Chain A
Amino acid sequence: MASSTFSTAERALQDRRTRQKEVKRNAWAYVFVSPFYLLYAIFGFFPLVYGLWLSLHTWDGISPMVFVGFNNYIKLITVDELWWQAIYNTIWLFVVATIPQLSLALSLAFIINSGYVRFKDFFRAAYFMPFVASAVAVGILFTSLFGSQYGMINFVFTATGLAKYFGTEAGECYKWAFMSNNMGCVIDWLQSALWLKPSIALIIIWQWTGYSMIIFLAGLQSINLELYEAARVDGASTWDIFVKITMPLMQGVILFQVVTSIIGAMQNFDIPVMLAGGTQSSAPGGTDHAGLTAMMQLYWSAFKYNTGSKSGFGYASAMSFILFLIIVVFSFTYNRANGQNPTEN
């Protein structure tokens, strides 16, 4: 057995030698891949670690940093109600906007991919179009559409006569609508707590469905057509094909979409800011902070309220790590729930 221990040590040494030789032999390859790692270290890894360090401090950006341990986290978790309201809003938007958006995108992709549709390229481009628009342009467009007194949507409600169902026959508007000067009962999309979140959700769905659809479409096109043909021969209906062949084979694409969507939804920022970012006479998030997302609260804490120990860069960093944890938990849970892959049985 002595020879065996010797040979283990020998082998380890040899391994190390081969590894060193390998490194030397591939030196140039390492040089060529180094830009990514250097850039990642500077712009990815360092900010991450520094953010974690920052979250243990109070810092307004200029004065010296003060170490406070886990106080930022404790404050956030125990006393900051607004932060939890922002988290609630963010998750609400994820459920009401992102889930329908993904379902819609998958259905659309399936329809466009099937043989029933002509002008596929046109539809693909048309659905993708909103994704290309910048958030500011989208914001301007939708603030005019959602305008309460002169908005296009309310105008359509009035013009089509639908608006008369917004109030009683006596002319009293229902609680969820209000009386406009020139249009009767209409909906205050952006300034009432009730409608602000649905308005934001609508825009998210409008903007992101096309993008998700394109990704799904790419996934669908990689499925072997023979599977469909075989299923048809066996007498499967379209629904059966969708559920029993398409869905299982799309698992990977769906997983990618769900995880990136969770990350995106948790960092929802630009659209809510454009619609309810707070002006000189309103608070960020609109009435009752209904449109205040976690990222908004984070940004406001870091850059606008950066004084005192319940705001500033340290406090905002702590927020970002809580957000990070939430993203991890959601993604992990989805991954777990998705663990039983039907194709593997």
Chain B
Amino acid sequence: MAMNDKSLSRRRFLRLAAAGLGAAGAAGVLAACGGAASGDKPAAEAPAEGNKVVVDLTFWWWDGNGQIWADAYNKLNRGAKVTFVNTPFADSHDKLLTSFASGSGAPDIASLEIGRVGGFTAKGGLADLKAAPFDGGKYEKDMVKYKWTQGSTADGRLVAMPWDIGPAGVWYRTDIMEKLGLPTEPEAIEELISHTKGKKWEDFFAFAQTVKEKSGGKVKLVSDAGTDVYGGALRQGGEGYFDGMKVLIEEKATRPAQLAADFRKQELDANIGWWGADWAAGVKNDAFAAMVIACWMQGGLTKDQPQTIGKWRVVPAPEASYNWGGSFCAIPEQGKNIEMAWDFVQWACCSAEGQNAMFKPTGVFPAYKPAWADPLYDEPQDFFGGQRAFRTWANIADNVASISRSPYDLQADDIVNAEMAKVLKEGKDPVQAMKDAESAALKAIEGATP
């Protein structure tokens, strides 16, 4: 009897599955034939919760922490259920592009990184958040200014809503400083290297020399001159290598490249490239005492290097404050529920509640300025050993050079990075290297002007 039941249900299951497959196939073919046609399905099909209609939204981001937003938003029952999909960084952008090219497959809410946003504002596919049914224009005054410009197209449409910015500074480890007999308090370190106390990169070099000497060469101040020195110094002149079609590589990158080359030549860095297994091992083995990077590093360190929690402190960078990275929220035009997607974007990116829900655990710093008024920003942070680091970030964020973004950024980045590798790994003259990078960019990017 039991056997019989099972076989029956199995047969039924197979039949249902076959029907389902057929239907899915048919729907797929229809979608392929006319992407728009399937877009006007009535929302009535969606499951109702209470007397509210709930629609499903998908949200792509390249960081597992996206779940934080999905959970917090879904708890509010605003009429949509957000499913977060952790898409690898490359996929988040490349897949989005393919979904535009093919007319389907985009998420309801997409994330765009600052380095890639220029490539999207220059094209179609993303909804204008200032045009009906959206009313995004009202948030302009609340957003960090340059960020708003980056998310806008040349003809003034807003296709990417500012999400976070990356105020950057010098992070250092108190445990290593203490071991080397160096000061551990942020006020004392700030005196030594921060621009707020009038210090320049030269002072940073001197401090790096002290760390090297005190440790007998075993500990260096930072891991990699290419990221910690070049990455910082370049962005102090404003991120991005283009002004319209004018290539600014030689103008902007020569001095930062010289600084990094000097730093490496004097063996002041640990010569460990960022983002890899070696870097992670370097942190665990106390190979370097500090890093020059943006606030969003907090999320990754919390996850991958929990033993360092509480040991980090942060002070402003030498010479000037600057921004490193940051992202945008966007709504692809092909989405079926763009109104609810807009509701999510407004809650997430344009409200103190949503922004701070993400910021607090991850350090993803709001571009939405009213969020900074939250008492949270004046609380001592456990991650930073009780330092009121969030206020430090906010102060840095208020004072960064504006950033220009172009669709050619990614290519220019790769061209310059290729030359930087030659400078740091093969001792190429930095001045010549940036000359070569400029001419390579002029050659590779059609329409670029010197």
Task: Indicate whether B4 reaches chain A with its CB closer than 8 angstroms.
Answer: no
Instruction: Fill in one digit per residue for B205-228: 1 if any A CB lies within 8 Å of its CB, else 0.
Output: 000000000000110100010110
Are A181 and B220 in contact, CB atoms less than 8 angstroms apart? yes
A63 to B97, CA, bound (A): 12
Partner of B122 from A278, A279, A303, A307 at Cβ < 8 Å:
A307
Chain A residues near B231: list those with CB within 8 A. 281
Partner of A149 from B218, B272, B444 at Cβ < 8 Å:
B272
Task: Indicate whether A160 reaches chain B with its CB closer than 8 angstroms.
Answer: no
CB distance from B117 to the nearest CB of A (A): 13
Are B124 and A63 in contact, CB atoms less than 8 angstroms apart? yes
Q: Name which of B33-41, B167-175, B277-285, B359-367 contacts chain A.
A: B277-285
Task: Indicate whether A143 reaches chain B with its CB closer than 8 angstroms.
Answer: yes
Task: Indicate whether A284 reaches chain B with its CB closer than 8 angstroms.
Answer: yes
CB distance from A203 to the nearest CB of B (A): 15
Chain A residues near B413: list those with CB within 8 A. 283
Chain A residues near B274: list those with CB within 8 A. 279-281
Closest A-chain residue to B278, C-beta based? A147
- How many interface residues does chain B have, given as a range? 35 or more
A279 to B90, CA, bound (A): 11
CB under 8 Å from chain B, chain A span 115-132? none
CB distance from A36 to the nearest CB of B (A): 16
Task: Indicate whether B52 reaches chain A with its CB closer than 8 angstroms.
Answer: no
Are B271 and A180 in contact, CB atoms less than 8 angstroms apart? yes
CB distance from B166 to the nearest CB of A (A): 11
Are B97 and A306 in contact, CB atoms less than 8 angstroms apart? yes
Partner of B445 from A62, A289, A304, A310 at Cβ < 8 Å:
A310
Are B444 and A182 in contact, CB atoms less than 8 angstroms apart? no
Which secondary structure dominates where chain A touches chain B?
loop
A149 to B284, CA, bound (A): 12
Are A188 and B278 in contact, CB atoms less than 8 angstroms apart? no
Task: Indicate whether B276 reaches chain A with its CB closer than 8 angstroms.
Answer: yes
CB under 8 Å from chain B, chain A span 230-280? 278-280
Partner of B425 from A193, A279, A289 at Cβ < 8 Å:
A193
Are A192 and B425 in contact, CB atoms less than 8 angstroms apart? yes
CB under 8 Å from chain A, chain B span 311-329? 325
Are A307 and B421 in contact, CB atoms less than 8 angstroms apart? no
A308 to B100, CA, bound (A): 18
Chain B residues near A287: list those with CB within 8 A. 418, 421-422, 425-426
Closest B-chain residue to A284, C-beta based? B414
Are B447 and A181 in contact, CB atoms less than 8 angstroms apart? no
Instruction: Fill in one digit per residue for B430-450: 1 if any A CB lies within 8 Å of its CB, else 0.
Output: 000000000000011111000
